[in-house]
Structures are given as C-alpha cells and as structure tokens.
Structure 1
C-alpha cells in the first residue's frame, strides 16, 4: 500500500493518528484495527483485497 494512500485517509479523517512531524504520522494499532474493522463503505473492497498476513502484521497479531 502506498504511503500517500494512508496519508490521504488521515487527511480525510478516516484514520486517526498522532502527528509526529509535518510529513510523517504515527498510527496506533487500535486506531488501525478500528479502521480495518469499520472502513468507509466505498473502501471495503479495496481493504478486503489487502493481504490478510500484512494486516495481521500491522496489527501485531501472531500467525
């Protein structure tokens, strides 16, 4: 997933973050989990196409 995709989600308010600098964001695991569990309706297919192993890695889940 491209970094501008995620930063776009942050700018639109769909994904909560702690801003660390003007160009980088810190996304907490629980915010990411909430976003993946309840994404905006028009992004559900796009998020479903992301590899589940990658999502589990980002959320810190063991395989």
Structure 2
C-alpha cells in the first residue's frame, strides 16, 4: 500500500519538524526541503501528492 507523499518546503526547522511529526503520525510519507531550490529539486524527483510551501522564504 502506498501512502500519500507530502513535500514540506520551509526555512524554519522547527516548523518543518512539527509538521513532519504530525503528518507521519497519520501515516503520510513526508519529504522536506529547507530552501526553495531544494524544494524544486525534490518536487521534480519525488513527485509528491501535496506540497506545503512557506511563501515568505528569503529566496
């Protein structure tokens, strides 16, 4: 069985960790990225079902 894959893109490690813990406890597969560029790379490579994106990132 495949679980939905969620990509979290955020430059705040505490926010990423909080969201990751909540989502993994509900059986989602979580991928994280700390920069916009890394987020683009992960999105292309991993093809997530949903992207949670911080819109106030430095770059």
Same fold (TM over 0.5): no
**Which of 1 and 2 has higher RCO (CA within 8 Å, sep 6+)?**
2
Band of TM-score, shorter chain: 0.3 to 0.5
Larger radius of gyration: 1
Q: Per residue, is there more helix in 1 or in 2? A: 1
User: Scaled by the length of structure 2, what TM-score is found?
Assistant: 0.33
Q: Per residue, is there more strand in 1 or in 2? A: 2
